[in-house]
Amino acid sequence: MFLANEGKSMKDLQSLVSPSGHNVGSPESLIRAVGDLLDKTGRQTTDSSAYRRLRTFSGSVPTPTGEENMENWMDQARMIISECECSEKEKRRRIVESLKGPALDIVRFSSPEANALQYLEALESTFGTSESGEDLYFAFRLLRQCHGEALSDFLRRVEKSLTKVVQRGGLSPQMVDRVRVEQLIRGAVESDLMLLQLRLRERKTQPPTFLTLLNEIREAEESEAARRKIKATVKTVQSQEQNLSFAVVSELRAEIQALKTRLCDESPKI
């Protein structure tokens, strides 16, 4: 008898049973062994499904079809490195397997002791922007909300620019939360009412983190969208009621005119 897809015989299962607490080969022991095996298999399947593979990056310009450009690839690579709980060797392998052409050559020429983050730094210094941290910080301070752009979308754009500033040494990581709020207040030229609602000016001394601020803004946007929907519905109903009133009045006038005509016709002629 074998466990499906595992190739485990009854003898194998019996070897998994701990002799303490239950007799070897007893039904209770075998059930517990199968449960432990399935639990282990489930964890392995979950770990495998959580694996995220980076798209190909070569550093070629223009970006070839099927490859990521420098900016998008770097964002994904940094996210994987920060979130992955695997070994440093595995992180380096995931980076290398996504590279080809000139980008792969840069990593090959790196120091054998280099870690995954140093791989990314070498690639960014070769294929990334040549702007200094100060230049990026100046550009960050010029960001403004576009016409029709949601405040949450503007915040994401601010965060993306701010991350580059910090990576290039243009700003201390300890200042990130405060500077983010300051730029949001300065650049959100189309969301003054929402900024007042969020009381960001009063919170500059104890600013929220990016995720906290993003959640607050999205909740405010959803509430505003709901209010607009209700307002539009009420306006539609009022318009329908008004049209209905006009129709009723017109009908009454027609009835009155018909009665007048009938009275005139029925009145005796002298």
Alpha carbons 184 and 209: distance in angstroms, whole number: 13
Mean pLDDT on 220-231? 85
Q: Is the pLDDT reported for residue 170 higher than 80? A: yes
Chosen domain end from 103, 127, 151: 127
Which tokens sit at 181? Answer: 């709020």
Q: Is residue 55 part of a domain?
A: no
Residue 159: what pLDDT?
92
Both 40 and 89 in one domain: the answer is: no
**Roughly how many angstroms between the first and final C-alpha of the chain, as a whole number?**
117
| CB of 164 closer than 8 Å to CB of 136 | yes
Both 258 and 152 in one domain: the answer is: yes
Both 153 and 249 in one domain: the answer is: yes
Mean pLDDT on 170-195? 92
Residue 269: what pLDDT?
57
Both 185 and 117 in one domain: the answer is: no
Q: Is residue 167 part of a domain?
A: yes
Alpha carbons 59 and 50: distance in angstroms, whole number: 27
Tell me what percent of the residues of the chain surpass a pLDDT of 70: 72
Residue 183: what pLDDT?
95
Both 238 and 263 in one domain: the answer is: yes
Both 27 and 140 in one domain: the answer is: no
Chosen domain end from 127, 156, 176: 127
Helix (H), strand (E) at residue 35: helix 27-49
Alpha carbons 198 and 207: distance in angstroms, whole number: 11
Both 30 and 144 in one domain: the answer is: no
Q: Is residue 58 part of a domain?
A: no
Q: Is the pLDDT reported for residue 204 higher than 80? A: yes
Q: Is the pLDDT reported for residue 47 higher than 50? A: no
Check residues 7 and 70 and name the one with the higher pLDDT: 70
Range among 9-18, 31-40, 147-156, 250-259 with highest mean pLDDT value: 147-156
Both 238 and 160 in one domain: the answer is: yes
Q: Is residue 245 part of a domain?
A: yes
When divided into structural domains, the chain yields a total of: 3
| CB of 180 closer than 8 Å to CB of 137 | no
Which amino acid makes up residue 66? G
Both 134 and 245 in one domain: the answer is: yes
Chosen domain end from 127, 146, 174: 127
Mean pLDDT on 48-74? 79
- Indicate the pLDDT class of residue 18, thresholds 50, 70 and 90: very low
Regarding pTM above 0.75, the answer is no
Check residues 49 and 90 and name the one with the higher pLDDT: 90
Average pLDDT of the chain, as a whole number: 78
Q: Is the pLDDT reported for residue 14 higher than 60? A: no
Both 166 and 218 in one domain: the answer is: yes
Instruction: Kindly report the backbone phi and psi dihedral angles of residue 9, in degrees, each rounded to the nearest multiple of 5, phi listed first.
Output: -90, 170
Containing structural domain, residue 95: 70-127
Alpha carbons 82 and 225: distance in angstroms, whole number: 35
Q: Is the pLDDT reported for residue 250 higher than 80? A: no
Q: Is residue 62 part of a domain?
A: no
Q: Is residue 65 part of a domain?
A: no
Q: Is residue 190 part of a domain?
A: yes
Both 174 and 252 in one domain: the answer is: yes
Instruction: Kindly report the backbone phi and psi dihedral angles of residue 144, in degrees, each rounded to the nearest multiple of 5, phi listed first.
Output: -135, 150
Both 248 and 212 in one domain: the answer is: yes
- Give the lowest-confidence range in 29-33, 72-76, 193-197, 251-255: 29-33
Q: Is residue 19 part of a domain?
A: yes
